[in-house]
Amino acid sequence: MSNVYDNILDLIGNTPLIKLNRVTESIPASVYAKIESVNPGHSTKDRIALHIIEQAEKKGILKPGATIVETTSGNTGFSIAMVSIIKGYKCILSVSDKTKPEKIAYLKALGATVFVCPASVPADDPRSYYEVAKRIARETPNSIYINQYFNELNIDAHYNTTGPEIWEQTQGKITHLIACTGTGGTLSGSAKFLKEKNPNIKIIGVDADGSILKTYHETKSINEEEIHSYQIEGLGKNLIPSALLFDLIDEFVRVDDENSAYRTREIALKEGIMAGYTSGAATQALLQYAREYAFKESDVVVVIFPDHGSRYISKVYSDEWMKEQGFVNEPLHSYDDVCKTEYIK
């Protein structure tokens, strides 16, 4: 039988490249989005969840009935919860209070226990979602802490899958890879593979306004004055994850909440792709980078779209949320500017 699978985990990986046309019409290069939302957990984090858990099983670290603990902005949690269901493990997750209620509901629907922690505290504060996850792992018998920010298997998952897929899909013609950096595993693992194939491929990391990663890449020092809260989930950090291989990254582009939000909405309206907030951030970084770098027609650019827009319906896809943030500087102020809702009585 064809197109038949033993379980949902068999669907992880082999995601498509889709050419971007209208959003990138000002760029002469061929630009493709790597659509990670077609993974069964709807994000690129499916890859690391499956790889890290299966490696733990092979090493005998995971025992029957074990509990898997992790820190997450949402997507890794979805993936771990999904894998845990199939493999018979319990799942405990800590998230920041930036996480929208529907994401928490999604995690709970997949059987996860969720701890919501303040996002505004330092990473080493006992209330931070990093430290809460560590404490829970210490206090829970027969448990493991995934620790995606400092787990080399995060890199390996993308070195083994995402990088080779992109190389094969572009027939080795890729010239630029652009991806958001949170844990750093997606970009680092993909970059490691692609640089081995062709060291001239430009690797562009995307950082958030309010994060320390871009400055650390440039100066090897942390500027704590740059740290402030921001709305983009899963992008940037106030600590330095070891899963982010800075020496493989040629340049960082920093993006802000507002432009990234409007870019996310534009992707949906112009390309028909319901992408997540970080996909808009990555596309915004592409357009900012294009102002400084003269792309050629022969260039082949791949932008990783990490997750699905359904997780941001009450955020970037909500006119009310956009107004609450004061995002009014773009021509598209509201969906009512381009489409209407009519109620028939």
Write out the catalytic residue numbers: 45
- In three-state secondary structure terms, 319 is helix
Give the tokens for residue 207.
């950082």
| Helix orientation angle between 152-160 and 185-197, rounded to the nearest 10 degrees | 50
Inter-residue contact 267 to 277 (CB < 8 Å): no
Contacts of 146 (CB under 8 A, 6+ apart): 49, 52, 53, 68, 69, 70, 76, 80
Q: Give strand pairing partners of 209.
A: 211
End-to-end CA distance of the chain: 49
Q: Give strand pairing partners of 92.
A: 69, 113
- Going by the DSSP 8-state scheme, the letter that residue 238 receives in this structure is S
**Pairing relation of β-strands 30-35 and 17-19?**
antiparallel
Dist. CA 263–CA 283, nearest whole Å: 7
Dist. CA 207–CA 238, nearest whole Å: 11
Dist. CA 232–CA 308, nearest whole Å: 14
State which amino acid sits at residue 29.
Answer: A
- CB burial of residue 263 (10 Å; 0-12, 13-18, 19+): buried
Dist. CA 111–CA 132, nearest whole Å: 19
**Pairing relation of β-strands 90-96 and 67-71?**
parallel
- In three-state secondary structure terms, 162 is helix
- Going by the DSSP 8-state scheme, the letter that residue 307 receives in this structure is B
Dist. CA 183–CA 62, nearest whole Å: 23
Give the tokens for residue 164.
């080779």
